[in-house]
Structure 1
Amino acid sequence: MVLFYHAEQCLMNYPRIWLNELMRLAGEIKSTACYMFEYRNNAGINTLFDAFYWTIVTLATVGFGDITPQTAGGRWVTIFLILASLGVLSFFTSILIAAFSEKMLSIRESRTYAALEHFDNFIIICGFGRVGQEIARHLHEEQNRFVVIDKSPEKVALAKLRGYLAIENDASNNAVLLNAGICRGASVILCITGDDVVNVYITLTSRHLNKGLRIISRANRHDNVNKLYQAGANQVIRPFEIAGMLAAEFVGQPVAFEAISGILQSQSDIVMESVLVSEKSPLEDQNIGQLDLGQRKLTLLGVISANPIHLKHKNKYQVNQQHFYFNPAEQFILRHGDILVLLGRKFGIDHFRDQVERRRLFARKPA
């Protein structure tokens, strides 16, 4: 797709390049060479102007015909007519190529829309910058269905080169989102462009078109978070603030940095998973310090809870009707329904989850 795009651009500019470069370089060379070889051979080329005229007629493929101008004025008129006709021809050629390229873009979008009609429960990614590319890569690896919408031809070509469905258009446009299936099969839309204003517009449009759609929006500035929630976002992510909090909270903790680094570098054995504190779980009524996560080579990223008893703790961020308590203190007491968000190697988290479940089942057995 990238090669096709560049070839298309070259075709659109070809008439101008042909006139400006080919006529200039080839004309100068052929005029000079023709004069040097023919001016003494009685071929009708006695001056540099004669050689220049002959070159223009030859390059334009006009031919010499039965009637040829003999005076300098007549030849100048002939040269002007030739160049003017070439200019008109080039102009109409560029119009045809531009129309053809627009039609090809429309055909490609129609094929994408037709493919989306057969999808259910897919994801719409609005914006294919650094964040969008990482999200698309993970979704592709997990074999999730999604479509990318971006206004940049280069980014859309990159998405198609990687094998993703992509649409080159404005995601804040109602018609674009409707054709992309926002009311037909989409379950989640990600508004993750680099511009907060654009993200607000896409969020407003998406919520207006589909009241039950899950919308995740990106905020680059803290003062735009509330605007995105008011526009209808279910969750708002702040990538730069999250990166800063991780660096500040986990400095000096090598296990945490190992886990985070492993996730960023796509190491297969480093994961981030959740563990539910279920009813009668051995984790219930225990504080964070009693879990011995450090000895298990696990790191607690945070706790998701709807229990109002936790509201006194700091570093809390609202997530729908719950709160996410980032890096809670050791005195944080777990309650029924809380969710632990753990970082570590997959087998370590699986082993911890199995141990918790075994202890819960053993405690439920009658004496």
Structure 2
Amino acid sequence: MKPRKGRHPAAVRHLELASLIVLAVLVLGVAGYMLIEDMSFTQALYMTVMVVSTVGFTEVEPLGTAGVYFTIFIMVIGVTAMFFFLAVVFEIVLSEYLGDIWGKRRMRSSIDNLRNHYIVCGYGRVGRSVAEELFTQGREFVVIERNPEVFQECVDEGYLGLLGSATDNETLVEAGIMRAVGLVSALRSDADNLYVVLTARTMNPSLLLVARADQPGSEEKLFMVGADRVVSPHQIAGKRMVNILVRPQVCEFIDVGVTGNIPEYQLIEYRVDGTSPVAGMTIAEIGLRERTGVTILAVRGEGATAFSPNPPADTRISRDDVLIMIGTPEQMANFEREQSDWKK
């Protein structure tokens, strides 16, 4: 999914060139008839257009020998220029028509092949930011947007998308909700977000659901119908600004670790599944820092509402625990290799 801007730039350049050539032929023809046959501007323009378009009306006055040869010359280059111009126009029209058909088929095929992807409902300001961040992090996702103009902006960015309403069950199925791992409902209406969360939770109980809420009373309702996380853009913005004022260094530390904009260190989360050999072992027995350099910052057990920060070495790791870890990109690569060895 690489961003792209504009459509058919080569065809547009060809159209500009063809138009300039036709205009040059017209100017040359008018000037030639005015000089060679001493015609008025109107007569010269009439003769030039008639010859170039091959209409075949009678000339405005008998032509001399020089005028006949000039007419043959204008006819040859004029017809060639017109054929080139019409071919370019046909190319643009055909590419627009067939391009839309092939583009929709490619889009559909790409969406059908998605697995463990994310669904972004709504491509407004919030949805656009979500899509940009998912793209930056290399995550596969599909956008659902019902406004045709806004949807076209999404397509022009190179993102996979569906034109339709996220409140429609069929649209969610087309987006691969049964194969997705997460869904962000970033619609402008809290009522629509409520419906999307309820529908998505019913269709895929294991889906990670994040919803947008504008009204204070909507958060509790969204949690009740199945949202895992509820984000209020206004509240988040306010808290964020205060934290930058009060704890600027902490904010910068977290931003660098989470966004990865500066390749110094990264923060990741790791869920211990049933096949992991570390389940039942203590942090000391795992020896993760000694083998990879990655440090475990916090642990949250299954069903726990809070993390246990700076866990001691004798903390026993259980199945479905979530580990928050920090390390440099090189150390994270070591951890990825360690994970591969665990699965063997």
User: Normalization by structure 1: what TM-score?
Assistant: 0.52
Change (3 A) 1:222 1:147: same
Q: Secondary structure at the match of 1:339?
A: coil
One-letter amino acid matched to 1:106: K
Aligned with 1:35 (options 33, 36, 41): 33
User: Contact 1:129 / 1:194 at 8 angstroms: preserved in 2?
Assistant: no
Match of 2:132 in 1: 133
User: Contact 1:125 / 1:132 at 8 angstroms: preserved in 2?
Assistant: yes
One-letter amino acid matched to 2:43: D
Aligned with 2:44 (options 42, 51, 56): 51
> What is the 5 A alignment of 1:271-310?
271=267
Q: Secondary structure at the match of 1:6?
A: coil
Per-residue deviation at 1:107?
1.5
Change (3 A) 1:201 1:96: farther
CA deviations over 1:48-103 (Å, ceiling 9, x no partner): 2332123223443x364xxx33569xxxxxxxxxxxxxxx9999987755432331
Per-residue deviation at 1:7?
0.8
Per-residue deviation at 1:246?
3.7
Structure 1: how far apart are the matches of 2:260 and 2:198?
34
Change (3 A) 1:113 1:249: closer
Per-residue deviation at 1:232?
4.6
User: Contact 1:8 / 1:101 at 8 angstroms: preserved in 2?
Assistant: no
User: Contact 2:194 / 2:225 at 8 angstroms: preserved in 1?
Assistant: yes
User: Contact 1:156 / 1:168 at 8 angstroms: preserved in 2?
Assistant: no
Change (3 A) 1:233 1:48: same
> What is the 5 A alignment of 1:171-182?
172=166, 173-182=168-177
Structure 2: how far apart are the matches of 1:341 and 1:258?
22
One-letter amino acid matched to 1:358: D
Per-residue deviation at 1:236?
1.2
Change (3 A) 1:206 1:49: same
> What is the 5 A alignment of 1:17-166?
25-26=23-24, 29-30=27-28, 32-40=30-38, 46-60=39-53, 62=54, 64=56, 68-70=57-59, 96-116=94-114, 119=115, 121-126=116-121, 127=123, 128-138=127-137, 140=138, 145-150=140-145, 152-160=151-159, 166=160
Structure 2: how far apart are the matches of 1:204 and 1:23?
61
Structure 1: how far apart are the matches of 2:253 and 2:182?
28
Aligned with 2:219 (options 205, 222, 225): 225
Aligned residues: 260
One-letter amino acid matched to 1:242: I
Per-residue deviation at 1:179?
2.1
Per-residue deviation at 1:251?
3.9
Q: Is 1:266–2:261 an aligned residue pair?
A: yes
Change (3 A) 1:194 1:132: farther
Structure 2: how far apart are the matches of 1:90 and 1:274?
55
Structure 1: how far apart are the matches of 2:236 and 2:301?
19
Match of 2:79 in 1: none
Q: Secondary structure at the match of 2:33?
A: helix
Range with greater deviation from structure 2 (99-108 or 28-37):
28-37
Structure 2: how far apart are the matches of 1:341 and 1:50?
91
User: Contact 1:274 / 1:340 at 8 angstroms: preserved in 2?
Assistant: no
Match of 1:235 in 2: 229
Aligned with 1:339 (options 285, 302, 306): 306
> What is the 5 A alignment of 1:312-327?
none
Structure 2: how far apart are the matches of 1:273 and 1:111?
32
Change (3 A) 1:149 1:47: same
One-letter amino acid matched to 1:259: F
Structure 2: how far apart are the matches of 1:111 and 1:251?
48
Q: Is 1:358–2:314 an aligned residue pair?
A: yes
Change (3 A) 1:22 1:195: farther
Change (3 A) 1:157 1:22: same
Change (3 A) 1:70 1:59: closer
Change (3 A) 1:252 1:157: same
Per-residue deviation at 1:237?
1.5
Q: Secondary structure at the match of 1:152?
A: helix
Structure 2: how far apart are the matches of 1:96 and 1:195?
39
Q: Secondary structure at the match of 1:186?
A: coil
RMSD between superposed Cα atoms in Å: 4.9
User: Normalization by structure 2: what TM-score?
Assistant: 0.55
